[in-house]
Amino acid sequence: MKAKIAVLPGDGIGPEVIAEGLRCLRALAERHGHELTLTELPFGGAAIDLTGNPLPRDTLEACLRADAVLLGAIGGPKWSAPEAKVRPEQGLLGLRSALGVYANLRPVRVHPALLGASTLKPEVLEGVDLVFVRELTGGIYFGEKRREPQSATDVCTYTVAEIERIVRAAARLAHKRRRKLVSIDKANVLETSRLWREVATRIVRTEFPQITLEHMLVDSAAMHLIRRPSDFDVLVTENMFGDILTDEASMLAGSLGLLPSASLGEGTRGLYEPIHGSAPDIAGRGIANPCGTLLSVALLLRHSLGLEGEAAALERAVSEAIAQGARTPDIAAKGASALSTREVGDAVLAKL
């Protein structure tokens, strides 16, 4: 097959982890006879330095023309001064909105060899394999904001259409997995959550009768996520609850550096990125964990290019490499020596 991929390495460790992602992507393409056009473009702080704009027009246009966008990470102290007028994050919000991606998928799998890397007890983590589907473009983050001398207001709004499309996305995913969907809300207090619950119930009952739907209050979900995480399959929730719970869930795996994400809209085009940031504390040292990026490449192959076999092969290669000790310092076993970003990339390529 032929496909165009826009590659945005970004800032800090972004270019380091993206380099490994591209090596694996090229190797897979060569092996399976796919013609991938990979175009690297400036984005985030790097683009501010070059053009004054975190999302230059050429970058945006190339992303809109592409079949998929692969992003490293953006941001860093250089562009974070409180008085800064342009910020790397504006580029990310602009890109998500231009691509129309409203569903953020974050799979969390606990690798058997890394049961000890988490702060939770190994027996709680055994068999964890869940996916969060977070609504990305609505809710309180995007509602009207007001400030009075003695008060402040943030409005939370959801439309029926916004809830329908995200619940459908989650239900479609659950249908391909263990067919268990948990919808998370705060329906005992919030009107938006009562609407969310009604719509989720109707969509699943009428369109996905094979799926078991459970509603869970967000406070209870936060507790069950660390008490019995292996019971979950797919979880769907609104923007702010998802923001908080996905960070909690990421800690089940042991390191931010391990986890991928996909942001999807209508159609197959998506934005793929590891969940971590630009990690200025370790940038330039060649020790960033590339696995979150490699697994994001696997999501890209699966969701945007329809290459399930290649996606699964890459996931297997990452898993086998980790099992055989290919680990950067963030997940290295106590007393064992750690590998560099490039060496972990080499180990995964060898498995591929």
Residues that bind ligand NAD (CB under 6 A): 13, 17, 73-76, 80, 92, 256-257, 273, 276-282, 288-289, 292, 328, 330
CB of 96 to ligand NAD, least distance (A): 10
CB of 77 to ligand NAD, least distance (A): 7
Q: Which is nearer to ligand NAD, 265 or 277 (CB)?
A: 277
d(CA 48, CA 53) in angstroms, rounded, equals 5
DSSP H or E segment with residue 217: strand 212-217
Catalytic: which of 49, 58, 154, 247?
A: 247
CB of 278 to ligand NAD, least distance (A): 4
Catalytic: which of 129, 231, 243, 346?
A: 243
Q: Which is nearer to ligand NAD, 76 or 138 (CB)?
A: 76
Q: Which candidate, 295, 323, 224, places its Cα nearest to that of 24?
A: 295
Q: Which is nearer to ligand NAD, 80 or 268 (CB)?
A: 80
CB of 102 to ligand NAD, least distance (A): 17
d(CA 243, CA 134) in angstroms, rounded, equals 7
Longest dimension (CA), the chain: 64
247 is catalytic: yes
Catalytic: which of 11, 186, 272, 330?
A: 186
141 is catalytic: yes
Q: At a CB cut-off of 8 Å and minimum separation 6, what does 161 contact?
A: none
Q: Which is nearer to ligand NAD, 29 or 287 (CB)?
A: 287
Catalytic: which of 78, 129, 141, 231?
A: 141
Q: Which is nearer to ligand NAD, 183 or 296 (CB)?
A: 296
Give the residue closest to ligand NAD by C-beta: 277
Q: Are 252 and 52 in contact (CB under 8 A)?
A: no
Phi and psi of 180, rounded to 5°?
-120, 120
Q: Are 132 and 96 in contact (CB under 8 A)?
A: no
DSSP string covering 182-195: EEEE-TTT-HHHHH
Paired residues of 68 in beta bridges: 5
d(CA 59, CA 234) in angstroms, rounded, equals 33
272 is catalytic: no
CB of 72 to ligand NAD, least distance (A): 7
Active-site positions read: 141, 186, 219, 243, 247
